[in-house]
Structure 1
Amino acid sequence: MTPESLFPTGMDEPMASPPPGCPAHGIGPGGLRRLYGPEAEDLGAVYEKLRAEHGPVAPALLHDDVPIWVVLGHAENMHTVRTPSQFSRDTRLWNSMQDGTVKPDHPLMPHLAWQPICSHAEGDEHLRLRGAVTGAMSTIDHRGIRRYINRATQDLVNQFCEEGRADLVSQFAERLPMIVLCEILGMPDEYNDQLVQAARDMPKGTETAIASNAYIMDVLMRLTASRRAQPEDDFTSHLINHPARLTDEEVGQHLRVVLIVAYEATANLLANVLRVVLTDPRFRAQLSGGQMTVPEAVEQSLWDEPPFSTLLGYFAKQDTELGGKRIRKGDGLLVGLAPGNVDPRVRPDPTAHMQGNRSHLAFSGGPHECPGQDIGRAIADVGVDALLTRLPDVELACDEDELHWRASISNRHLVELPVEFAPKPQQDVMARPEHPVTAQRPSNWQLSAAQPRTAAPQPVAPEPAAATPAPEPTVRRGVFRRLLRWWRGD
């Protein structure tokens, strides 16, 4: 039997709405579940209900009861993002956009409005725009950025280390990515609390999202005009001067994509990894062989709590079938990164350690896979390691079950991560660590800053040994220090 659509665009078997006054929570027109509002605060639970009711692809409602397909299966998500012949990111193809169902003031309009960016383009135009972005990214000095991340971390820790207490979300995870991204884009002087707040607010679909978007675009268009007149050695200048010859509007819009997506993803990733470090016994194991390195904690977090829980959106270019459902031409699809990561068909035990496995959906896939994922990983790897080096005795200042999250259609992020530690003096942000990381931590951390097990550049050759040979243990420590400095980019 051919599966049928459940949406008003092709509703062969209408689903009855609950009667007036019915206590059914989160149910909208057609009996479809809503992905917004107070009833959908725990979207993870909503996705599992949808999976149980409909399978790997389920009908649901966005803000203002706009119909959308939610892709819940791992294989179905990969098919969606890897099959440009069937699914496009061009929002102009969406029936709900064409027929006016999505109003101009829709809270998700910053995501939905078509823009001249690679994320919405296909074919040759996608290659032109994406090529400019990846070309500009190829000019980033990754070792230099790792050193900058370390210095920025030291500076942030200096601001609270003497207090003995901190909130690692508001005082660290929400700040470090913006500091680093402002440096990469070439606008370190623009870093301030307002930019951090606007970048955090814009993707959430709040009432102030459109105003936040306008503020960010003003900052980025001023940067574009400045670098067009006087180029420097930064991402923005290389984007402007790329042979693709982007217009000012195209430059500004791509800067917005890079800034917002990279910031939101990395802020969430940092907070999630720090929570794992502070609460997961696999990281804090005292038994030999049970340790988890910082890079491994990052990858585990990308499986368990991807920085973006969904990706909005993809649109059917033709009638097709996905996960047993008939998808009509012009239907919209919400790529479920978080629910796809816990698809029981590929991950029967959601608590299993995914060590060495990078097949998660955290960075999407296909032609629109996140091009800046290595920068996000570097911020998390270096930032977390440098913070733990400064605060080796840091502990969670509340019970783990007291932590809470704030969810939106695009992500679920930790609200606070209160910690306590013995007060520490401030340090020179330019100074290198005097000892290897493991030498400064109590035994219960069992942290290794060694190279991750997944593929990575090989370390540079060690420096020549001194003329006077040192005892064997000292030589081993010297090699470890040089490896540690290489790993951090010092």
Structure 2
Amino acid sequence: MSTTPTPPPQCPAHGTGSASGPSGQRQLYGPEAEADPMGLYEKLRAEHGTVAPVLVHGDLPAWLVLGHRENLDVARTPSRFSRDPRRWRDMQEGKVPADHPLTPMTAWQPVCHFVDGEEHRRLRGAVTDSLARCDRRGIRRYVTRFANQLIDRFAAAGQADLVTEFAEHLPMLVMTQVLGMPESYGPKLVDAARDMIKGTETAVASNDYVTTVLQQLVERRTGNPGHDFASWLIDHPARLTADETVEHLRLVLIAAFESTANLITNTLKVVLTDHRFRAHLSGGHMTLPDALEQVMWDAPPFTTILGRWSTGDTELGGQWIKAGDMLLLGLAAGNVDPEIRPDLSQPVHGNRSHLAFSGGPHECPGQDLGRAIADTGIDTLLTRLPDIQLAVKEAQLHYVSSLMSRHLTALPVTFAPSSGTPAPTEGSTGVGVLPARRQSVPLPEVVPAPVATPRAEEPRARKTSWWSRLFSR
């Protein structure tokens, strides 16, 4: 039910719907936001409370939701805050041109995260039902096999960059198997997906490449189904159209890649740099799944989620929100809300009420899949390389921030080469899966016929826990 309180004094940027805000209005892009987004969120919290007026690209006005309770309120009440971007007033008034940086993320498409109500239930039901059919043990075997293949490529060198040589590739390689693609597609899709998310000059070409690959996958699986997510989505009783199927495959592929790659990187970074975190692990007070939950509190894969649009004039966190206003869910800011975490030094690793996967009817449907990839991948890496250490000082690590995420550009590590003895990869294609170095994103091309998927290897037997070896150095 929409609330209709007495309107409080309005911020000029939002009360008028002007495309440019008043002097001093804080931007969610530019040097300040890119250098220290969490610092910016705290400044906004101090100035405005749990909901802050901000400017996005092009100095378009929006609201950033900073409070934990307020984030859940927005996520759980689509009757007040819709996921349909066609409600965005600035877009209706022609203030969001086709080449605007937010257009790829706000242009309406026939996907479940852009609709509400019955249509949302139909489309999301097809996604969740199809994901539920995935074999969790089989996925973990894929993760173990691909993780070992990746490690084999750098183990003998005694050094590696865990971002570009491990974390970015592992989720995509696994997802090619989940969706029903040949694993050889993985490296190109990694480059294309990252390019799309960065919004570079070649992002459109990268998007075209991903779309072409998925269209060809749908064409192959239509009438010739396999035991994979694409086939189950095509054959679901919801009867998705070909376009709807392609869009949902892309949604699952890109979301799983970006969020899981960031989760793996952030967790490895904390393990390598945070002595308090290590103490909890070495003392047996925290398991690896617990460690992932702690990281999702402190460094969620997505810092913000774009967006929600107010269905009518309403109040949120003491701010007057007008119909058609855009809201951004501040996941990272909500996770450190002083109302729920007055002491950030206290661990919360046993608590899953973080906002890393949002909430409400649009909560991430593939979160368990992401957890499985990250958990198994990190476990495999640290089992193979128990003496791994950061190769540079923590202060030398470099981050790149965007409106929705913040991720490390590199995580250089060193380890004893002898600790990385190549693991057996039964039935796999071995080192031929990955290119020797990162290549430019190719233009769409005719995709070869699918190849038989090799049988995943069983998880390797462990002589001792990698936790004990990691902390006994």
Is TM more than 0.5 here?
Answer: yes
Of 198, 201, 217, the residue aligned with 1:207 is: 201
Distance 2:282 2:303 in 1: 34
In the other structure, the counterpart of 1:187 is 181
In the other structure, the counterpart of 2:24 is 31
1:412 alignment partner AA = R
Preserved CA contact (<8 Å) 1:283 1:293: no
Equivalent residues in 2 for 1:124-143 (5 A)? 124-143=118-137
Residue 289 of structure 1 deviates from its aligned partner by 3.9
Q: Which consecutive residues of structure 1, in runs of 5 or more, have no partner in the other structure?
A: 18-27, 447-490
Preserved CA contact (<8 Å) 2:382 2:466: no
Residue 310 of structure 1 deviates from its aligned partner by 0.5
Change (3 A) 1:440 1:371: closer
Residue 7 of structure 1 deviates from its aligned partner by 4.9
Change (3 A) 1:251 1:287: closer
1:435 alignment partner AA = R
Change (3 A) 1:389 1:103: same
Residue 441 of structure 1 deviates from its aligned partner by 4.7
Change (3 A) 1:243 1:295: same
SS at match of 1:102: coil
Change (3 A) 1:444 1:322: same
Preserved CA contact (<8 Å) 2:162 2:412: yes
Of 4, 7, 28, the residue aligned with 2:9 is: 4
SS at match of 2:275: coil
Distance 1:317 1:416 in 2: 42
Of 279, 285, 299, the residue aligned with 1:305 is: 299
1:340 alignment partner AA = G
Preserved CA contact (<8 Å) 1:107 1:206: no
Q: Deviations over 1:73-118 (max 9, x none)?
A: 1111000000111010000001011011111111121210001011
Preserved CA contact (<8 Å) 2:53 2:64: yes
- Kindly indicate whether structure 1 or structure 2 has the higher relative contact order, using CA contacts under 8 Å at least 6 residues apart: 2
Change (3 A) 1:242 1:223: same
2:424 corresponds to 1:428: yes
Residue 51 of structure 1 deviates from its aligned partner by 1.0
In the other structure, the counterpart of 1:485 is none
In the other structure, the counterpart of 1:46 is 40
Q: Which consecutive residues of structure 2, in runs of 5 or more, have no partner in the other structure?
A: 1-5, 426-456
Distance 1:291 1:322 in 2: 39
1:427 alignment partner AA = A
In the other structure, the counterpart of 2:344 is 350
Residue 191 of structure 1 deviates from its aligned partner by 2.1
Preserved CA contact (<8 Å) 1:316 1:327: yes
Equivalent residues in 2 for 1:7-406 (5 A)? 7-8=12-13, 10-11=15-16, 29-41=22-34, 42-189=36-183, 191-285=185-279, 289=283, 291-406=285-400
1:365 alignment partner AA = G
When normalised by structure 2's length, the TM-score is 0.87
Q: Deviations over 1:280-325 (max 9, x none)?
A: 2244339974543211110111001100110000000011000000
Residue 224 of structure 1 deviates from its aligned partner by 1.2
Preserved CA contact (<8 Å) 1:313 1:334: yes
Change (3 A) 1:114 1:445: farther
Equivalent pairs, count: 434
1:345 alignment partner AA = E
Over the aligned positions, Cα root-mean-square deviation in angstroms equals: 2.2
Change (3 A) 1:443 1:316: closer
Residue 216 of structure 1 deviates from its aligned partner by 1.3
Distance 1:384 1:406 in 2: 22
Residue 445 of structure 1 deviates from its aligned partner by 5.5
Distance 2:331 2:81 in 1: 16
Residue 439 of structure 1 deviates from its aligned partner by 6.9
Identity between Structure 1 and Structure 2 (%): 56
Preserved CA contact (<8 Å) 1:181 1:259: yes
Residue 370 of structure 1 deviates from its aligned partner by 0.3
Q: Deviations over 1:224-263 (max 9, x none)?
A: 1111142111100100000000000000110111011111
Residue 215 of structure 1 deviates from its aligned partner by 1.9
Preserved CA contact (<8 Å) 1:286 1:445: no
Distance 1:319 1:409 in 2: 26
SS at match of 2:320: strand
SS at match of 1:59: strand
Residue 218 of structure 1 deviates from its aligned partner by 1.4
Residue 44 of structure 1 deviates from its aligned partner by 1.6
Distance 1:284 1:8 in 2: 46
2:138 alignment partner AA = G
2:417 corresponds to 1:412: no
Change (3 A) 1:337 1:414: same
Q: Which piece of structure 1 moves more, 124-133 or 273-282? A: 273-282
Residue 355 of structure 1 deviates from its aligned partner by 2.4
SS at match of 2:64: strand
Preserved CA contact (<8 Å) 2:169 2:186: no
